[in-house]
Amino acid sequence: MNVKVILAAAFVAILTASFALQAQTHYKMGVSLGSNYSSLNSDLYTTSSGRLSSALGFSVNLGFGDRFELAPEIMFTQKGATIQTATFNPENVPTVGTYDFYYNTFEAGFFAGYQPAKNIPVRIQAGGFFGSHFHNLDRTERNEYVGDYKNIVNATQVTLLNESLSGIDFGPAFGLSAGTGRFNVSARYYLGARNLYENLAFAPGGHHIRTSSLRLTMSYFFKHKSSWVD
């Protein structure tokens, strides 16, 4: 990308943030707890089911006037999916099985919200997230394969894909939030834009692994100030 374009975008962002801070009318900080349903999409395997887990983190809410808000968050959750595998016996007849592609992630999210109706505290949110993944997957199940469920020659050993779930992820997210005062409820959809297959060293190209999540959380805010100045 052109350096001038980057500098111009940075200038606009700083200018926008400066005006936003001047117009800021309240801020809140608190904890968030909820549930996260995630899945994986890949051309190498079929996903049998997603993973439902809890989500816990820290949230901030910055209000600007009656209609606009910024909502940063830091969350810990567990993601992944159960995928379909094949085990080949000596007769080369595949037996269908499953493998849990589970991993953990710390995510930082940043969302902008707009409340269409002044008297109804429901806001439309859009933004993005950046996550860091780590896992403790079993490396011993070397008899399970994906990629080709009929011929072992073209299949890929499933444990060779474990490291795809160790690295970073990022992408857009959007949803709704509702509430006033100390409580807030949000429902958001997170769409991973990064190809996690690229985390694999020396792997042949041409494949993809991407994430998606649906998250429902409730936030309780400890601090509720009407302005930056006490």
Q: Is residue 8 part of a domain?
A: no
Q: Is residue 63 part of a domain?
A: yes
Q: Is residue 206 part of a domain?
A: yes
Single pTM value for the model: 0.82
pLDDT per residue as tens, the chain (230 positions): 444 544 455 554 444 555 555 555 678 899 999 999 999 999 999 888 999 999 999 999 888 877 888 999 999 999 999 999 888 877 667 888 888 889 999 999 999 999 998 888 999 999 999 999 888 777 777 788 888 888 888 888 888 888 888 889 999 999 999 988 889 999 999 999 999 999 888 777 889 999 999 999 999 998 665 544 33
Secondary structure of the chain as H, E, C letters: CCHHHHHHHHHHHHHHHHHHHHHEEEEEEEEEEEEEEEEEEECCCCEEEEEEEEEEEEEEEEEECCCEEEEEEEEEEEEEEEEEEEEECCCCCEEEEEEEEEEEEEEEEEEEEECCCCCCCEEEEEEEEEEEEECCCCCCCCCCEECCCCCHHHCEEHHHHHHHHCEEEEEEEEEEEECCCCEEEEEEEEECCCCHHHHCCCCCCCCCEEEEEEEEEEEEEEEEECCCCC
Print the domain residue range for 64.
27-224
Q: Is residue 207 part of a domain?
A: yes
Q: Is residue 95 part of a domain?
A: yes
Q: Is residue 18 part of a domain?
A: no
β-pairing, 47-64 vs 24-42, is antiparallel
Residue 220's pLDDT is: 94
Q: Is residue 3 part of a domain?
A: no
Task: Domain count for the chain, please give it.
Answer: 1
Q: Is residue 216 part of a domain?
A: yes
Closest CA to 218 of 30, 9, 34, 6: 34
d(CA 174, CA 151): 41
Q: Which CATH number fits the domain that encloses residue 216?
A: 2.40.160.20
Number of residues in the chain: 230
Tokens of 82: 């159960």
